[in-house]
Amino acid sequence: MIIFWGLLYNIIVYPIIFIFANILSLFNKKIREGIVGRRASLKELKEYFKLNELNNDIYWFHAASLGEFYQAKPVLEGLKDVEPNIKIILSFSSPSGYNNAKSKSIDLKIYMPFDFIWSMRKALKIARPKKIIFASYDIWPNMIWLASARSIHLNIFAARVKDNSIKLRVGFISFYRSLYRSLTTIYTVADKDSKRIKRVIGNINNPKIKILGNPRYDMVMKTADNFTSEHTRSVLSREKRIIIGSAHKEDDDFIIPALIDIINFDPNIKILYAPHEPVDSDIERIKLKFIDHGYSSTVHKKKKSLKLPEDQIVILGVVGLLSKLYWQGQIAFVGGGLSTGIHNVMEPAIARLPVLFGPKYQHAHEAEELLEFGGGFCVKDQGDFTCVILDLIKNEDNFTKVSLAATDVIHKNLGSSTRIIRNLIRD
């Protein structure tokens, strides 16, 4: 079946994806930046290995975007600590990951080369990786098939398969079977993911499948350790601030009117509103929405300052601060749940905040656990949002219970990166 899917993918599917991406790049700066970056990848690989002799083991990590980088970061850094002589390549599909990912353990950062047979064959010939490691998803067929043919160890960690995943549907399962069977090892987040991947793969012994958890919990905990003094303070002793994190345009329409109702109910409440991409046009749109309801706002654009303005409503105009600013709030809403899927719910959870999010959370195991253990809430509309927030504000005992449950979810899941590193070395 690999031959069939290989022909279909290379003759029809990927060329169509490539053509459409190039057309869209004319109108979308982010897509254009990614395509330009991919065009330079082979040249960057060639230049790097021209200057660095191939006398080290090469580990090639791939992360779709910044969120997946935060899954990979504790693994690649821990791997470098254990095996300091290895070289680590880190590739990205998205500019948001490529532009913002930072770690001293990364030896070369590139965009994932175009997934044509010739370009991927050339990339593998130049780099000659010992292992290729995918964070969570975003596996590329030609890279998988060609690396497997070269007997390169292929791994995916923090792997998840949703119950209604396209991977399990008739007509698609055969394609994904051809990919997953080409992998060497698969490390899943939870037992249910392992069972679903086994359904995709079928009744064979390879690849090895192990349940090793999600290393992003370790990353969030490591970041939080920089705020040790905050750990000893009750959440209730902080300012009464609701933090809206990574909000999409779809979230704004019901969140902002709900926030107005809430601050009308309790004028002591403050708002920190962080759009997913704090470009000037989005910030202006959010400011106008608050003005429509009779409230002005100020924008915080100081990249290195955690001191927020005293104004009641503050819009965050920079990236990179949100995870630390959660420690200055009491309740969080994480955006994306009405559009592409929710963003990072772990950062507010480790800061002891009850976490609200929209209905598209099925890709996030940590959100499911927050719901299961009582540290999070799924809100579908303005009424849900207002109801949950007001209940938390009015009921201090319930607030404390939810706050502790949110943090407990993080602590229950620590240690995944160590398990993944140990198995990557051994397998």
Question: CATH 3.40.50.2000 residue ranges in the chain?
Answer: 222-412
* DSSP assignments along 334-364, one per residue: E--TTTT-----HHHHHTT--EEE-S--TT-
Three-class secondary structure of residue 273 per DSSP:
strand
Give the three-state DSSP class for 27.
coil
Distance CA 274, CA 244 (A): 6
Q: What is the 8-class DSSP label of residue 9?
A: I
Assigned token pair, 135: 């964070």
pLDDT recorded at residue 334: 94
Do you find a cis peptide bond into 207, omega within 30 degrees of 0?
Answer: yes
Architecture of domain 2-213: 3-Layer(aba) Sandwich (3.40)
* 298 phi and psi angles, rounded to 5 deg: -120, 155
In CATH terms, the fold of domain 222-412 is Rossmann fold (3.40.50)
Residue stretches of the chain with pLDDT short of 50 = 228-232
Predicted pLDDT of residue 226? 54
Q: Specify the 3-state DSSP secondary structure of 283.
A: helix
Q: Measure Cα distances from 382 to 262, 291, 354 in Å.
A: 11, 19, 17
For the segment 186-198, what is each residue's pLDDT rounded down to a tens digit? 999 989 899 999 9
Q: What is the pLDDT of residue 362?
A: 79
Q: Residue 410 and residue 408: Cα distance in Å, rounded?
A: 5
- For the chain, what percent of residues have pLDDT higher than 90? 63
User: Closest by alpha carbon to 66, among 36, 94, 41, 28?
Assistant: 94
Percentage of the chain beyond pLDDT 70 is: 97
Domain ranges in the chain with CATH number 3.40.50.11720: 2-213
